[in-house]
Structure 1
Amino acid sequence: MTVATVTVEEAAAWLQSGEAVLIDVREADEFAAARIDGAVLAPLSAMPAAWQALDLPADRKIVVMCLKGGRSHQVCAYVGPTGPEGQPLFNLTGGIQAWAAAGLPIVED
């Protein structure tokens, strides 16, 4: 299955404008250590229940992210090209590592 992807720059613009919601599928300890502001945690280890528990807005793109893009790709392949209400689904290319490398802000505890 082909998974749609989005660059960190494009995803950052979507998030800033309110066009997208960001789902982080890393584990809770990774999320606590460093995360993208506004991201919602739904760990891969807790799928599919974690995905089903999300309250995803019908009018926004869904961007799925992890550390480098592997786990989020798995989730995107599992969920399919769209969210529960037809929202387009995208894998964040390069994950939080690419986000940081691009100089985009990260919340660190």
Structure 2
Amino acid sequence: MTVAAVTVEEAAVWLQSGEAILIDVREPDEFAAARIDGAILAPLSQMPAAWEALDLPADRKIIVMCLKGGRSHQVCAFVGPTGPEGQPLFNLTGGIQDWHAAGLPVVVAE
């Protein structure tokens, strides 16, 4: 299955404008250590229950992310090309590693 992808630069614009929401499928300890502000945690280890528990707005794109893009790709492939209300689903290319490398803000545990 083909999974739609979005670059960190595009994703940052979508998130800032409010046209997308960000789902982080890393584990809670990874999320606690470093995360993208506004990301919603839904760990891969707790799928599909974690996905089903999400309250996804019908009018926004859904971006799924992890550390490098592998786990989020698995989730996108499992869920399919759209969310429950037909929202377009995107895998964040390179995950939080590429996001950080691009100089975009990351919330880090103190």
TM-score in terms of structure 2 length: 0.99
| Cα shift at 1:70 | 0.1
Aligned to 1:92: 92
Residues 61-85 of structure 1: per-residue CA shift (max 9 Å, x gap) = 0000000000000000000000000
Aligned to 1:38: 38
Q: Which runs of 5+ in 1 are unaligned?
A: none
CA RMSD of aligned residues (A): 0.1
TM-score in terms of structure 1 length: 1.00
| Cα shift at 1:10 | 0.1
Aligned to 2:68: 68
Aligned to 2:24: 24
How many aligned positions are there? 109
**Percent of aligned pairs sharing the same letter:** 87
The one-letter amino acid of 1:61's match is K
State the distance in 1 between where 2:56 and 2:12 align.
18
Q: Runs (4+) of structure 1 moved beyond 3 Å?
A: none
Q: Which runs of 5+ in 2 are unaligned?
A: none
